[in-house]
C-alpha cells in the first residue's frame, strides 16, 4: 500500500518516463532532419513539469517559475552534457550523445520536480 | 491516467498560457543571448565571475531578492493571483538584474562604450545576471512556500488535537459511569437519611458540571480554580471509596500559574481508573512543585482489567501542552510511582 505522499508515484513514473522518451525522440528526429528542436523541447519540458507538480496541487505560480528555471537549466545541462559526451566518446555513444543526455536530463528534471512537489504537498489544499 | 486527464481537462487554458509564455520568453532570451555572445564575442564566464566577486552587486541581489520574495509571498499568497505573481516575479528579477548589471564592472562598460558596444555589453550582462537572479528567486520562492506549507500543517495538527481534546472533554461531561456512580451514592445517602451529606454531594456535583460548562471554551484556567474542581471531584470519590483515597496538595500558599482546564481532574481520574482503591491499600495522589514543574503523582497498584483506551485523556493533555506552550509533559513510571510533570505556565 502506498501512503498518501507516494500515491501519485505511478502517475509520475508514467509521465516522466514518457516525456523523457518523447524528448529523446524529438532530439533524434529533429537532428536527423537538421531542424532546430528548441520549441518542441521547451513545450515538452514545461508540460512535463506542470503535469508532474500538479499531481500534488503545486500552485501554478510556483509551477511556472519552476518550469522556467528547469527549461533553462535543462537547456544548458543538455547542450553542455551533449558536447562533453560527444567529445569523450566514440561510436554509438558519440553518435547518440545528444539523445542520451537529453533522456537523462529530462529524467533528472522530472524527478527533481516530483520530489519538490511531493515534499511540499498540503493534503487538504485545493488551490 | 485519470488524474492526468483531469488536470489537462480542468486547467488546459492555464497550462497553455504558461507553455506559451515560457516558450516566447525562452526563444527571445536564447536568441538575444546567443546573438550577443556570438556577434560580439562576449564571455558568460567573465560576467558570472564579476558578479560573484563583486560584493556590492552580490549582496544587493541577495538582499533585494529575499526582501522582494518575502513581500510578494505576504501580499500575493501562493496559488492565488498566480498570473500577477508570476509576472511580478519576472519583473522583479529583471529590475534587480538591470540594476546589478549597471553597477557591475563599470570599467568594462567604459571599455565597451569606447568601442560603441555599451548597450550590447549591458544587455549581455543583464541577461547573464538574470539567470543567476532567476535561480535565486526560484530557490527563495520554494523555501518560502516550504515554510508556509509547514506552518499550515502545524496549524492543522494543532486544530485537530484541539478538536480531539474538546471531544474528549465533551465525552467526560456526560461520562455515564461517573454520573451513574454519583447518582447511586446520592440514592444511598437519601435512603439512609443523611440529608446534609446528600445536599453537600449534590452541590459538589453541580459545581463540577458548572465548572465544565463555564470553562469549556477556555484554553487555560488559573490553578486555584482547577484545584477547587479537583477537590470537589475527590470529595465525591471519597464518599464512594470511603478511606481508600488520600489526596494531598502541597503547593506554596501564594502559588499562581495556569493549567489546561480539567487537566488535574483528568489525571486524578486516570489514577483512580488505573489503580486499585481500598482501605487496606489506599491510593495516594499528590500535587506538588518540583524543579519548576507541577507534579501529579500516585502510587502504583494496578488493577487487573486496565483498559488501554484510558491513555487517550493523558495523550490529549500532553498534546494540548505541546501545542499551547511548546513544552512537553514528562511522564515517569517506576515500579512504585506514576508521575506526570506538567510545565508551569
Say whether A38 and B30 touch across the interface (CB within 8 A): yes
B330 phi, psi to nearest 5 deg:
-95, 140
* B interface residues, A as partner, C-beta within 8 Å: 1, 3-4, 7-8, 11, 14-15, 18-19, 21-23, 25-27, 29-30, 76, 78-83, 85-86, 89, 131, 134-135, 137-138, 141-142, 145-146, 149, 152-153, 156
- Measured between beta carbons, the chain B residues lying within 8 angstroms of A62 are 78-79, 141-142, 145
DSSP string, B97-127: HHHHHHHTTHHHHHHHHHTT-HHHHHHHHHH
Least CA distance to A15: which residue of chain B? Answer: B4
The pLDDT tens digits for A52-80 are: 998 888 888 888 888 988 888 888 888 88
Q: Is the dihedral of CA B29, B32, B38, B43 positive or negative?
A: negative
Domain residue limits, chain A: 4-119
The C-alpha cell 527533481 sits at: A112
Give the per-residue pLDDT at B162.
77
Provide the pLDDT for residue B306: 60
Using an 8 Å CB-CB cutoff, list chain B residues near A8: 3
pLDDT digits (tens, 9 = 90+) for B225-251: 889 888 888 888 887 777 788 899 998
Q: How far apart are CA B330 and CA B29, in angstroms?
A: 60
d(Cα B306, Cα B289) in Å, to the nearest integer? 29
Interface of A with B (CB under 8 A): 8, 11, 14-15, 38-39, 42-43, 46-47, 50-51, 54-55, 59-69, 71-72, 75, 116, 119-122, 124-125, 127
pLDDT digits (tens, 9 = 90+) for B90-124: 888 889 998 888 887 666 666 666 667 777 888 88
- Distance from B317 to chain A by nearest Cα, in Å? 26
Partnered with residue B340 across adjacent β-strands are B296, B331
**pLDDT at residue B109, as a whole number:** 64
What is the number of helices (H) and of strands (E) in chain A?
5, 0
Percent of chain A whose predicted confidence (pLDDT) is above 70: 91
Residue in the structure block whose three cell numbers are 505511478: A10
Taking CB atoms and an 8 Å limit, are B141 and A38 in contact across chains?
A: no
Which residue ranges in chain B fall short of pLDDT 70?
1, 105-115, 166-178, 305-310
Whole-model pTM?
Answer: 0.62
Q: Enumerate domains of chain B plus CATH numbers.
A: 42-155 (no CATH), 174-343 (3.30.565.10)
Amino acid at each position: 500500500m502506498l501512503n498518501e505522499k507516494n500515491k501519485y508515484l505511478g502517475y509520475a513514473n508514467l509521465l516522466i518516463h514518457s516525456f523523457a522518451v518523447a524528448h529523446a525522440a524529438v532530439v533524434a528526429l529533429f537532428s536527423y532532419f537538421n531542424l532546430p528542436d528548441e520549441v518542441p523541447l521547451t513545450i515538452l519540458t514545461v508540460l512535463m513539469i506542470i503535469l508532474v507538480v500538479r499531481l500534488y496541487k503545486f500552485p501554478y505560480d510556483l509551477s511556472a517559475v519552476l518550469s522556467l528555471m528547469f527549461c533553462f537549466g535543462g537547456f544548458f545541462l543538455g547542450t553542455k552534457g551533449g558536447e562533453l559526451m560527444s567529445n569523450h566518446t566514440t561510436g554509438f555513444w558519440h553518435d547518440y550523445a545528444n539523445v542520451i543526455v537529453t533522456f537523462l536530463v529530462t529524467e533528472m528534471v522530472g524527478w527533481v520536480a516530483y520530489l519538490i512537489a511531493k515534499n511540499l504537498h498540503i493534503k487538504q489544499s485545493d488551490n | 491516467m485519470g488524474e492526468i486527464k483531469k488536470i489537462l481537462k480542468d486547467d488546459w487554458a492555464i497550462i497553455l498560457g504558461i507553455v506559451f509564455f515560457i516558450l516566447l520568453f525562452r526563444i527571445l532570451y536564447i536568441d538575444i543571448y546567443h546573438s550577443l555572445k556570438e556577434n560580439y564575442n562576449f564571455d558568460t564566464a567573465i560576467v558570472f565571475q564579476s558578479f560573484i566577486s563583486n560584493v556590492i552587486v552580490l549582496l544587493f541581489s541577495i538582499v533585494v531578492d529575499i526582501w522582494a520574495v518575502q513581500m510578494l509571498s505576504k501580499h500575493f499568497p501562493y496559488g492565488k493571483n498566480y498570473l500577477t505573481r508570476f509576472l511580478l516575479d519576472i519583473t522583479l528579477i529583471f529590475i534587480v538584474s538591470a540594476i546589478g548589471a549597471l553597477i557591475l564592472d563599470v570599467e568594462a562598460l567604459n571599455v565597451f562604450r569606447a568601442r560603441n558596444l555599451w548597450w550590447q555589453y549591458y544587455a549581455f550582462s543583464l541577461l547573464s545576471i538574470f539567470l543567476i537572479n532567476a535561480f535565486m528567486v526560484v530557490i527563495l520562492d520554494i523555501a518560502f512556500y516550504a515554510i508556509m506549507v509547514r506552518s499550515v500543517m502545524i496549524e492543522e495538527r494543532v486544530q485537530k488535537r484541539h478538536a480531539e481534546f474538546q471531544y474528549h472533554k465533551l465525552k467526560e461531561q456526560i461520562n455515564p459511569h461517573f454520573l451513574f456512580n454519583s447518582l447511586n451514592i446520592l440514592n444511598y445517602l437519601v435512603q439512609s437519611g443523611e440529608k446534609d451529606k446528600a445536599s453537600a454531594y449534590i452541590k459538589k456535583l453541580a459545581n463540577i458540571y458548572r465548572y465544565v460548562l463555564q470553562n469549556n471554551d477556555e484554553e487555560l484556567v488559573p490553578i486555584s480554580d482547577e484545584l477547587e474542581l479537583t477537590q470537589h471531584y475527590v470529595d465525591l470519590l471519597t464518599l464512594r471509596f470511603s478511606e481508600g483515597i488520600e489526596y494531598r496538595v502541597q503547593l506554596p500558599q501564594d502559588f499562581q500559574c495556569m493549567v489546561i482546564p480539567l487537566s488535574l481532574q483528568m489525571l486524578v481520574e486516570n489514577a483512580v481508573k488505573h489503580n486499585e482503591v481500598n482501605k487496606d491499600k489506599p491510593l495516594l495522589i499528590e500535587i506538588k512543585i518540583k524543579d519548576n514543574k507541577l507534579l501529579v503523582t500516585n502510587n502504583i497498584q494496578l488493577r487487573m482489567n486496565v483498559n488501554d483506551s484510558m491513555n487517550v485523556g493523558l495523550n490529549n493533555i500532553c498534546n494540548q501542552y505541546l501545542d499551547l506552550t511548546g513544552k512537553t509533559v514528562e511522564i515517569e513510571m517506576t515500579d512504585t510511582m506514576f508521575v506526570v510533570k506538567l510545565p508551569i505556565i
